[in-house]
Amino acid sequence: MEITRLREQLGDFKRIIEQGDTLQVSVSKVPVYWHAEHSLNILRDVLLLLEQSSPADHKPTFSFLKFFVMTTGYIPRGKASAPKQTMPESAGDMTALIKKCAQVQFQIDNVDSIKADACFKHPFFGWLDKKETVRFMIIHTKHHLKIVNDIVR
Mean pLDDT of 120-124: 92
Q: Under a CB-based contact definition with an 8 Å cutoff, are residues 94 and 17 in contact?
A: yes
User: What is the overall mean pLDDT for the chain?
Assistant: 91
> Quick one: pLDDT at residue 86?
84
What confidence category does residue 1 fall into, taking pLDDT thresholds of 50, 70 and 90?
A: low
- Give the integer Cα–Cα distance in Å for 34 and 82: 11
Q: Name the residue among 86, 1, 6 with its Cα closest to residue 39.
A: 86
Number of separate domains in the chain: 1
Supply the CATH number for residue 107's domain: 1.20.120
The residue range of the domain holding 122 is 3-152
Mean pLDDT of 15-20: 83
Dihedral sign for Cα 117, 135, 97, 76, please. negative
What lies within 8 Å, CB to CB, of 76 at 6+ separation is: none
Neighbours of 57 (CB within 10 A): 10
pTM: 0.93
Q: How deeply is 6 buried, as exposed, middle or buried, from its count of CB atoms within 10 A (0-12, 13-18, 19+)? A: buried
> Quick one: pLDDT at residue 14?
87
Q: Under a CB-based contact definition with an 8 Å cutoff, are residues 118 and 51 in contact?
A: yes
